Amino acid sequence: MHDALFYIFSAAALIFAFLVILNPFSRNAVTSAMFLVLTIGSLAGLFVLLEAYFLAAVQVLVYAGAVMVLFLFVIMLLDLKVEERRGFKGWRRKVSLVAGMFSVGVLLHFIFRSFHQSTLHRDIGAIEGATAPLGQLLFTQYLLPFEIVSVLLLVAMIGVILLSKKDLQ
Amino acid sequence: MTKIGLDHYLIVSALLFALGLLGVLIRRNLLVMYMSLEIMLNAANLALVAASRFNNNLDGQVFVFFIITVAAAEVAVGLALIVALYRKRQTAHVEDLTTMKL
């Protein structure tokens, strides 16, 4: 059951992520945003499989909720035209093809080599990312970073207000 | 007993990261590039949560919590920048933004 769910959720996440960047039917930003919501939902499912229940909830609330609403607001505010395809021409095309093939080859080489020497263990631990133990850690050992992050959010809010004023002077 | 181990999750995370990187490289719309960045951040989150689960250590999940918070702040600021840019230039196409090109 766990295995089947893992394969379903990861296949869904990968397919939806592919449709975000390379949708064959539409180059519309709204379609990409909708598929990004689905990707994030599948990732939340993977988090549940990993027993990180609090993070799965945060993922749905913050990413699929707040962040994606922000994205959709901006897309509709900007009234974008359909993205044009402007390819490279001439020697630039050849150089970029060769460089891309070369870097993919190098990466594949290292990936296969590291899988041969892989020593990743497979025993499942008994840890559970429920709200209570995570909160305990957050308010004892990680109290200072927690407070700093709250200041960061305040700074981001002020920055956004400043940036969206009519005249930036 | 389940056969899914840490390496399965790490492979999914690597593929997701590669997809995000591909999106940043090939799409020319600033907003879609930004969404690809989010995919990359999420891939990193998945790797961290899996590592925390299989090492019996909650620190990784606390780190993911901070990453999500910072990503939310980053999205707010980035989208405000895109809106300000669009107001000045009427475009969200990266190839039209060449003011700083030598």
Distance CA B33, CA B75 (A): 12
For A105-123, letters b (16+ CB in 10 Å) and e give: eeeeeeeeeeeeeeeeeee
* Domain co-membership, A62 together with A9: yes
* Domain co-membership, A58 together with A69: yes
A77, A97, A117 - which closes a domain? A117
Residue A153: inside a domain, yes or no? yes
Span between the terminal Cα atoms of chain A, in Å: 59
What pLDDT score does B7 carry?
Answer: 81
* Domain co-membership, A61 together with A104: no
> What residue numbers bound the domain in which A10 lies?
1-87
What pLDDT score does A132 carry?
Answer: 87
Q: H or E stretch including B74?
A: helix B59-89
A87, A108, A142 - which closes a domain? A87
Which residues lie across from B29 on neighbouring strands? B93
Which residues lie across from B93 on neighbouring strands? B29
**How close A55 comes to chain B (CA, Å)?**
7
**Residue A62 in tokens:** 């913050």
Which of the two residues, A56 and B3, has the higher pLDDT score?
A56
**How close B82 comes to chain A (CA, Å)?**
9
Using 50, 70 and 90 to split pLDDT, how confident is the model at A165?
confident
Residue A63: inside a domain, yes or no? yes
The answer to whether the beta carbons of residues B65 and A138 sit under 8 Å apart is yes
pTM equals: 0.87
* Domain co-membership, A103 together with A154: no
What pLDDT score does A39 carry?
Answer: 95
- Kindly tell me if the per-residue pLDDT of A122 is higher than 60: no
What pLDDT score does A15 carry?
Answer: 94
Distance CA B45, CA B64 (A): 6
Distance CA A74, CA A69 (A): 9
Q: Please, which residues have CB within 8 angstroms of residue A55's CB and are 6 or more apart in sequence? A: A47, A129, A134, B45, B49, B61, B64, B65, B68
Using 50, 70 and 90 to split pLDDT, how confident is the model at A125?
low
B8 contacts chain A (CB < 8 A): yes
* Domain co-membership, A35 together with A106: no
**Residue B92 in tokens:** 């969200």
3-state class (DSSP) for residue A168: coil
Residue A42: inside a domain, yes or no? yes
* Domain co-membership, A71 together with A101: no
What pLDDT score does A3 carry?
Answer: 87
Residue A123: inside a domain, yes or no? no
Residue A14: inside a domain, yes or no? yes
Q: Tell me what ipTM this predicted complex has.
A: 0.91
Specify the DSSP class assigned to residue A79: T
Distance CA A131, CA A142 (A): 15
* Domain co-membership, A99 together with A59: no
* Domain co-membership, A17 together with A77: yes
Half-sphere exposure of residue A4: CA atoms within 13 angstroms, side-chain side: 1
**Residue B79 in tokens:** 């989208």
Distance CA A151, CA A137 (A): 19
Distance CA B102, CA B99 (A): 8
Span between the terminal Cα atoms of chain B, in Å: 60
Question: What is the full per-residue pLDDT of chain B (102 aa) written as tens digits?
Answer: 567 778 888 889 989 999 999 889 888 888 999 999 999 999 999 999 998 988 888 899 999 999 999 999 999 999 999 988 888 888 888 878 888 777
* Domain co-membership, A76 together with A97: no
Q: Where are the alpha helices (DSSP H) in B27-54?
A: 30-54
* Domain co-membership, A135 together with A167: yes
Question: Which of A21, A39, A74 lies nearest to residue B83, judging by beta carbons?
Answer: A74
Residue A122: inside a domain, yes or no? no
- Kindly tell me if the per-residue pLDDT of A124 is higher than 60: no
**How close B18 comes to chain A (CA, Å)?**
10
Residue of chain A nearest B75, judged by CA positions: A67
Domain tally, chain A: 3
CATH number, position A8: 1.20.120.1200
> How confident is the model over A6-32, as pLDDT tens digits?
999 999 999 999 999 888 887 788 899
Cβ of B65 and A134 within 8 Å? yes
- CA–CA distances in Å: residue A58 to residues A4, B15, B42: 24, 23, 13
* Domain co-membership, A22 together with A75: yes
* Domain co-membership, A104 together with A78: no
Residues of A in contact with B13 (CB under 8 A): none
Distance CA B76, CA A154 (A): 12
